[in-house]
């Protein structure tokens, strides 16, 4: 074998040897990788991961939950049923015009600020042309173990049946309740349930102790969802949300309040009721972050009178009126930096007898300064009829004093047919055979409503079941004529009404509330029963 062939043979052997070494190494690496993976897999199964744990509930703040558990048994769901005689009523009118009135103003106020009771209707006749049954839901709070419950007047007013459901009642169980008394001025009502056991009554707190920023809870049945609790703070105090509405200075809160919460309690962090949830400010009739509760100080005063022998609220008055909207120009013209300038004095009233005159500015009551009309009304109204008060006032820039004897507000104004929202005192209206109360249209109202001065009377109230309701007269409508005869005053209306007898046709020429001259007028007619 020559040397060249031998060299080629050796090279081939060396190549095979190299391949065998590489193959051996590859197998070794593969085996090592598998072994390593298996070892790591076993190490991952040893359970060295730290278990997750939950903190103890005691480590978190439980103030809200404690208050909720304490309050929920005292808060009730209120279900009411009422009959609506006429389904086709002309509504959808603007609630902010000066139709005045006790019921009308309050009804429209709560329709605007709370969307009404939020009920549902059940037809009584095909096509909804006849009487229907309306059901609504609200809330209330037990304040006496004997079964006395505070709620809003608009929750129970005009109800044919009121039923209450307690927290521990089985599904479907409700208790009939009766109205003990209502107060239209504050929209409060007291109802009572007769049961054979003591009920869990809520504790009342003093609303004067609350400060802006304090935490509060609202408890109730929004949209029928009972035992609902929402939290927020006191956003403002002493809030007057409708100019001229008296005896209604609210606590404002951002605790969620919705239809159905009405009548439920606003509670402080001591578990005390410091307000009754009454209204919301919303364009959609749902929660918008602004709610209002009537302070417990007002609630207690009204409750004690409604549960008294007469079941009515008595308020003092001296017989004056004033502009409810503060106007610095009035103060400057009449020479007073603050106070309440008298715009009229009722003849024979305590103010008249004490010598007060139009243009006098009341600056103090029994030495306490009076800054605005709400303070004057609140102080005088809280005093008992027959008691005396010393008034300080300015006349032509000179300070004077006089003593007045407080009168019963309802009796003092019983002869008047209505009130205007811009005035201090409201009346107890006279009811006509039509079942409607009216008052003369003021020049200011005529100008705003584009009516000829001195024309028409405005409907202040309509009594359910009477002729006016049958022909669809509504609060705020302007009556211009009755049976072709002009009606320009309360006297005109009363004279025409008295001349009509049962069985006669009656035609009202009416400017519907909220309409302008361009909208025209409408006839409302029927036969007097």
Catalytic residues: 154, 187, 262
The CA distance from 93 to 90, in Å, is 8
Question: What ranges in 167-293 are assigned the alpha helix state H?
Answer: none
Helix (H) or strand (E) holding 459: strand 457-462
Q: Is 462 helix (H, G, I), strand (E, B) or coil?
A: strand
Q: How far apart are CA 8 and CA 6, in angstroms?
A: 5
Do 77 and 165 form a contact (C-beta atoms < 8 A)?
yes
163 strand-pairing partners: 79, 176
Classify residue 187 by burial, with Cβ atoms within 10 Å: 0-12, 13-18, 19+: buried
The residues near 517 (Cβ < 8 Å, ≥ 6 apart) are: 450, 451
**CB neighbour list of residue 120: distance below 8 Å, 6 or more residues apart:** 134, 135, 136
C-alpha separations of 314 from 301, 303, 406 in Å: 10, 12, 12
Gyration radius of the chain over CA positions: 37
Pairing of strands 368-369, 250-253: unpaired
SS3 443: helix
Buried b (16+ CB within 10 A) or exposed e, 51-77: eeeeeeeeeeeeeeeebbeebbbbbbb
């Amino acid at each position: 074998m020559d040397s060249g062939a031998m060299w080629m043979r050796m090279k081939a052997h060396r190549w095979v040897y190299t391949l065998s070494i590489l193959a051996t190494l590859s197998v070794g690496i593969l085996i090592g990788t598998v072994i390593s993976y298996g070892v790591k897999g076993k190490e991952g199964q040893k359970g060295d991961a730290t278990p997750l744990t939950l903190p103890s509930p005691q480590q978190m703040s439980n103030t809200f939950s404690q208050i909720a558990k304490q309050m929920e048994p005292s808060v009730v769901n209120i279900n009411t049923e009422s009959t609506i005689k006429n389904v086709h009523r002309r509504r959808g009118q603007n609630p902010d015009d000066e139709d005045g009135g006790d019921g009308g103003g309050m009804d429209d106020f709560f329709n605007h600020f709370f969307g009404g009771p939020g009920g549902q209707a059940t037809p009584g006749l095909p096509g909804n042309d006849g009487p229907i049954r309306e059901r609504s839901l609200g809330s209330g709070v037990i304040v006496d173990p004997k079964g006395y419950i505070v709620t809003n007047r608009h929750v129970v007013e005009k109800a044919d049946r009121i039923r209450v459901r307690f927290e521990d009642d089985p599904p479907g169980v409700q208790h009939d309740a009766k109205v003990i008394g209502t107060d239209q001025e504050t929209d409060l009502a007291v109802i009572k349930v007769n049961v054979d056991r003591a009920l869990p009554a809520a504790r009342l707190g003093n609303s004067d102790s609350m400060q802006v920023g304090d935490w509060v809870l609202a408890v109730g049945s929004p949209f029928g969802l009972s035992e609902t609790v929402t939290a927020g703070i006191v956003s403002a105090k002493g809030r007057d949300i409708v100019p001229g509405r008296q005896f209604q200075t609210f606590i404002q809160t951002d605790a969620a309040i919705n239809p159905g919460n009405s009548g439920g309690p606003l509670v402080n962090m001591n578990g005390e009721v410091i307000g009754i949830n009454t209204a919301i400010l919303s364009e959609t009739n749902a929660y918008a972050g602004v709610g209002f509760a009537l302070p417990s100080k007002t609630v207690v005063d009204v409750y004690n009178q409604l549960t008294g022998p007469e079941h009515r609220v008595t308020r003092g008055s001296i017989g004056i009126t004033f502009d409810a909207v503060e106007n610095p120009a009035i103060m400057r013209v009449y020479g007073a930096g603050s106070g309440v300038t008298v715009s009229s004095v009722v003849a024979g009233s305590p103010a008249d007898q004490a010598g007060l005159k139009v243009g006098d500015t009341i600056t103090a009551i029994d030495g306490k300064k009076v800054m605005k009309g709400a303070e004057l009304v609140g102080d005088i109204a809280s005093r008992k009829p027959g008691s005396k008060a010393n008034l300080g006032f300015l006349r032509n820039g000179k300070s004077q004093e006089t003593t007045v004897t407080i009168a019963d507000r309802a009796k003092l104004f019983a002869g008047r047919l209505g009130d205007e929202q811009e005035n201090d005192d409201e009346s107890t209206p006279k009811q006509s055979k039509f079942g409607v109360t009216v008052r003369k249209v003021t020049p200011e109202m005529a100008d705003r409503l584009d009516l000829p001065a001195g024309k028409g009377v405005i409907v202040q109230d309509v009594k359910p079941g009477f002729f006016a309701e049958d022909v669809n007269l509504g609060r705020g409508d302007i009556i211009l004529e009755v049976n072709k005869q002009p009606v320009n005053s309360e006297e005109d209306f009363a004279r025409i009404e008295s001349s009509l007898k049962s069985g006669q046709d009656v035609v009202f020429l009416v400017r519907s509330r909220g309409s302008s001259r361009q909208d025209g007028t409408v006839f409302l007619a029927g036969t007097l029963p």
